[in-house]
Structure 1
């Protein structure tokens, strides 16, 4: 698999990252490890996870696989902080205390000394961004985090943080993550032009619209049982509507005309 440089991170990554949100939930641990093996065997070196995925179980599965598989130095591992982890009310938010504790927990579960990318999963209106970023800069200086990323942040918020980091001499954000696929293209208006202008690497999540763009869900029928669109209310609310399904159907038609899968 070819490699690309992920923006100003300088890291060489596979163009496709393996998302792990379903590991430990819809996908059992053994199958999760088999998928990790398959991905790495086919040249994928970029793993994306979050501390909140399945109350930390997802990170734990990756850590156990990593301990058995080895090769940490060849992988780029990204995780995220912000959301509540399981039933722990103190795990949510972006205060320095929360960040330090949750990063420590993530590193233990992942069985690693550092994260290649630490994403903020979403803004935290209760904590000033300067307070948050001062803490993150210290983590970069300590070596426990190599690069900082922003997920689900607006373009103007990212620019604000870039200039804050420049003014304070802190580590800047170098990568962003946003919802982007063939039928959800809002980031093309501001986020992608901003990222290009500032040299910010961009990662897309939901590239297959939660499975809607795979072609397995047929028009006029309910979602295929046990898939994300069948069991996940958030994804169903996001994609399972007439407009999105019609757009996905049109994408499938174009793919079939070209002799390709959706």
Structure 2
């Protein structure tokens, strides 16, 4: 838990801003996919309106109050619309994957490889969403509505996140290696850090070597040479 908090505190502010932007992009894209206002058409003569999304369409009539009837496309959707559905859903999945990678960078590891994968997935998400809305806009030129616009905004935010992730990667490459990036091994084992520096790992619990005290011979008595010298001194006195 302490290491996770330390990794989060060492994360750059750019990465934290990117996480916030990515969360907003996820919500905006979900609303854009789920609502039925990619196209909206109103007929004032018959007091009716029609609006549709990626997965269903609705027809509304005003007759003693407004009545709307919605139906899903199921298998009746044209091929180009199925392609748009696939591109938008793939983009949403890619956004979720990038969010998981950012979570790992906050609480697990600040690996450069994870940052690189995050950048590539973020660009991939933006390309998929933008390709989907471009195809839809080409097929439905007029009467585009706010759901279409929300997905366009989500694509722009994905490219913005990719720029922020790239900047965060540059900051991590310039930053000196922290202790959280070193994976300690056994006593005396040489390991490599993520920045290709060689590190000799020592245990934190290593005790200093114990040396004998200066008077260690006290428990065994004086050495023999000392005893002989003492007897000679007593013999001279006598």
TM-score bucket of the superposed structures, by smaller chain:
under 0.3
The structure where helix makes up a greater share of residues is 2
- Larger relative contact order (Cα-Cα within 8 Å, sequence gap ≥ 6): 2
Q: TM-score, normalised by structure 2?
A: 0.24
Structure number with bigger Rg: 2
Q: TM-score, normalised by structure 1?
A: 0.22
